[in-house]
């Protein structure tokens, strides 16, 4: 019983640390438009299909008053959603429940001219292949 309680306490203590490592961002030296073009080009250039571009910044700006907020979060923010048949099959053959991580997303944000490109981070194990794919797409977009 002591071991179970100790394990529970350790899990709770580690939760805030795990929550801090949910994404990676990189400063982009250029405009939001240049960054979104670079991300789109890097994704499509690998033969991947962008399933959807979520215009999160526009949605937040449009709905702020409706939810009682006048806080401007972004000048612009988009999320590019896509999958890779090769990588997705590989990680889901390792664990079919890796479907929870699909589709993959790369985001571009602009906050007062500070443009960033990023993506979420993934757990150790097979999902690190997705992490590597996203890292390589972001690095190409940054060039």
Domain spans of the chain, in order of start: 22-142
**80 CB-near residues (< 8 Å, 6+ apart):** 36, 39, 40, 43, 50, 53, 105, 106, 107, 108
Mean pLDDT (whole number) for 72-87: 97
Structural Rg of the chain based on CA atoms = 18
The yes-or-no verdict on residue 80 having pLDDT over 60 is yes
Residue 21 is predicted with a pLDDT of 72
- What is the mean pLDDT of the segment spanning 82-108? 96
Report whether 78 contacts 56 (CB < 8 A).
yes
Residue 13 confidence (pLDDT): 44
pLDDT(5) > 80: no
Using one digit for the tens of pLDDT, what is the confidence trace for 8-51? 444 444 444 445 579 999 999 999 999 999 999 999 999 999 99
CATH of 22-142, one of 3.30.70.920, 3.30.310.70, 3.40.47.10, 3.40.190.10: 3.30.310.70
Q: What is the pLDDT of residues 100-135, one digit of tens each?
A: 999 999 999 999 999 999 999 999 999 999 999 999
pLDDT value, residue 139: 97
Measured at the CA of 108, the angle between CA 102 and CA 110, to 5 degrees, comes to 150
Mean of the pLDDT values across residues 73-90? 97
Instruction: Report the half-sphere exposure of 23 (CA within 13 A, side-chain side).
Output: 13
Residue 140 burial (10 A CB sphere; 0-12, 13-18, 19+): middle
Q: How high is the pLDDT of residue 20?
A: 57
Q: Report pTM.
A: 0.83
């Amino acid at each position: 019983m002591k071991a179970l309680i100790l394990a529970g306490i350790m899990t709770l203590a580690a939760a805030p640390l795990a929550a801090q490592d949910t994404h990676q961002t990189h400063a982009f030296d250029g405009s939001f438009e240049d960054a979104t073009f670079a991300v789109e080009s890097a994704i499509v250039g690998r033969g991947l299909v962008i399933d959807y571009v979520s215009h999160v910044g526009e949605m937040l700006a449009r709905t702020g008053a409706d939810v009682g907020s006048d806080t401007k979060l972004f000048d612009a923010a988009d999320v590019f959603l896509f999958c890779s048949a090769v990588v997705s099959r590989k990680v889901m053959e390792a664990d079919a429940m890796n479907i929870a991580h699909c589709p993959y997303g790369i985001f571009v944000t602009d906050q007062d001219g500070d443009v960033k490109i990023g993506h979420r981070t993934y757990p150790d194990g097979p999902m690190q292949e997705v992490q590597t794919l996203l890292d390589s797409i972001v690095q190409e977009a940054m060039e």
